[in-house]
Structure 1
Amino acid sequence: MGVEERRQQLIGVALELFSHRSPEDVSIDEIATAAGISRPLVYHYFPGKLSLYEAALRRAADELAERFVEPHEGPLGARLLRVTGRFFGFVDEHGPGFSALMRGGPAVGSSTTNALIDSVRQAAYEQIIAHLGISAPSPRLELVVRSWISLAESTALIWLDGRRVPRAELELQLVHDFAALAAVSAAYDPEMADLLAGLLANEPADGPFADLLTRLAALAPAATLPS
């Protein structure tokens, strides 16, 4: 193989191993064996495990960022549901690797790892803002979107610890969470209220946002307001 071809092969092998076990538990010897080469040859292409680990994280970050790309067609609720489905698909396929990416793994605190994590978050943020059709987001809208991205990360990490909640339910719940965050912000800000009204006006009766309103309406008779 050529130099770059071999490097890409090693990154792919490492990422596959990291997808099933924590990077700390995967040795250079295992990576070499899986790639069908010797340990010294691995070091010929990467000076150490950390550099190979960071290269694998970079590929994982690029793939994860691509999961947020969605055509700007149809109701926002359905778009967000498709995005969360692909996001959880990545989490499901690359559990330990996803945890390592979000938590830093062996390179926790390194500038490279932090930059990779931030790049994924920024890509997700820019995609959602674009879907909202906003060119200059207000501080409250930015807070809503970035808070939702952080919530999606933490939800996925908790879910990986046993997968005790059905994945499909969490995907829908995250879409509902976005609407709920926007609704709370709308209660404080007229601009957010106008944005939310516009989003709900374009939602079909069988969409995720309408489903949330139906669920909340069912709870209303049981709710009591303080006197």
Structure 2
Amino acid sequence: MSGLQRARLSPQDRRAQLVAAGVNFLTDHRLDDLTMDELARLAGVSRALVFHYFDTRQGMQQAVVTRARDSLLDATAPRQELAPRERIRDTLLRTTQFVQQHQGTFYSLVRGTASGDPAVRTIIDESRELNAQRLREALVELGMADALLLRVALRAWVAFAEETLISLAIERDAEAEDVTRFLEASLHAVVGSIGGQRL
């Protein structure tokens, strides 16, 4: 058995280690493949212990997806000391680099919307909303009106960016700088299409 089982950990630390094992699993596997038995095997603990911390497979997957999502959001948090345009580009670059370094996890997050669990979809949608909000805040600083069309455009662009990152940063292993330039250009094109509309 691993040290995880033998070590005397607090309930919070034990649960955190189990969740971390689940996140590591996403590096090379789909979320749908993460079962209670598989998590127990990965962590070197009994199936009963996993059920002690997570009543259901759905609850376990939700905890794992939440941790993976938070890792992405924390790693790509905008640097508020930068000017708005620099901040946007810096955030896009660090997002691209994160995706390249954690390909399986990002793929699982994006494709997690295919899960039949509404709670998993909600967790991922919350991430998309926050990413759109971060961009909106920078654009409002640049003088754009915080209008409905801006919110709609940014929410749609975030979904576009996810597919771009999968296609270019993961499947084609394009240079981070090249992917970032494309993302930045597409963002400005989408935002520019709003023009003087008042919605």
Provide TM-score, normalisation by structure 1: 0.71
- 2:168–2:174 Cα contact (<8 Å) kept: yes
- What's 1:148 paired with? 157
- Quick one: which of 158, 170, 187 aligns to 1:178? 187
Query: Tell me, what secondary structure is at the counterpart of 1:185?
Result: coil
Determine the C-alpha separation between the residues in 1 that align with 2:17 and 2:129: 28
Paired position in structure 1 for 2:168: 159
Find the aligned partners of 2:56 and 2:45 in 1 and give their Cα distance: 16
Off by >6 Å, runs of 4+ in structure 1: none
What's the counterpart of residue 47 of structure 1?
A: 55
Name structure 1 gaps, 5 residues minimum.
193-227
Find the aligned partners of 2:14 and 2:82 in 1 and give their Cα distance.
Answer: 42
Aligned length: 189
Cα distance in 2, alignment partners of residues 54 and 160 from structure 1: 26
Cα deviation per residue 1:88-142 (whole Å; 9 max; x = unaligned)? Answer: 233223323322222226x714221121112111111221222122696112322
- The corresponding residue for 1:87 is 95
CA gap 1:69/1:164 in 2 versus in 1, 3 angstroms:
closer
Asked whether the 8 Å contact 1:20–1:96 carries over to 2, the reply is yes
Please name the residue that 2:121 is paired with: 114
Q: What is the TM-score when the length of structure 2 is the normalising length?
A: 0.80
- Alignment of 1:71 with 2:79, yes or no, is yes
Q: CA RMSD in A?
A: 2.7
Match of 2:130 in 1: 123
Say which is worse superposed, 68-77 or 167-176, in terms of deviation. 68-77
Distance 1:29 1:109, change over 3 A: closer
Unaligned runs of 5+ in 2: 1-8
Deviation, 1:11, is 0.1
In the alignment, is the contact (CA less than 8 A) between 2:96 and 2:169 conserved in 1?
no
Q: The residue matched to 2:153 in structure 1 has which SS?
A: helix
2 CA distance for matches of 1:3 and 1:125? 35
AA in 2 matched with 1:116 = I
Counterparts of 2:174 and 2:28, CA distance in 1: 20
Match of 1:20 among 28, 45, 55: 28
Q: 1:77–1:175: 8 Å Cα contact kept in structure 2? A: no
Higher Cα radius of gyration? 1
Against the structure 1 CA distance between its residues 40 and 74, is the aligned structure 2 distance closer, same or farther, given a 3 Å change threshold?
A: closer
